[in-house]
Amino acid sequence: MTPPELRALVSDSLALWGVAAAVSVAKDGVALLAPDGTPLRVRPAGVEERPVRWWLERPGQRRPCTSVLGLLRGLRNAVGAGEAANARRLRVAIPGA
């Protein structure tokens, strides 16, 4: 996944969660500010770090993410979107069910 594709995924996810944040492409990933002002960065992991795919970083913490799902879950929690009881979540279901 290229940095522009990662920026688009993060931006779309933030919009789905109702979080207003600007996401920018950084030299080695994407960067954004959480609503509380915490700087966040998503960086791709190196080949030697596999199975880790990305690193979700905030001051004093570096979280490994092995999948897109794990990355989005960690990001949702980092921006506080997973705390609300009525947080919007994507659900997969059989059509018409």
Inter-residue contact 45 to 55 (CB < 8 Å): yes
Domains in the chain, number: 1
Is 90 within a domain? no
State the chain's maximal CA–CA distance in angstroms: 46
Residue pair 17/88 in contact (Cβ under 8 Å)? The answer is: yes
Asked whether residue 94 is assigned to any structural domain, the reply reads: no
43 close to 54: Cβ distance less than 8 angstroms: yes
Residue 72 DSSP code: H
Which residue range(s) make up the domain with 19? 3-78
pLDDT per position as a tens digit, 61-85: 999 999 999 999 999 989 988 665 4
The tens digit of pLDDT for each residue in 46-57 reads 999 999 999 999
pTM: predicted TM-score of the whole model, two decimal places: 0.78
What does the pLDDT look like over 19-35, one tens digit per residue?
988 899 988 899 999 88
84 within domain boundaries: no
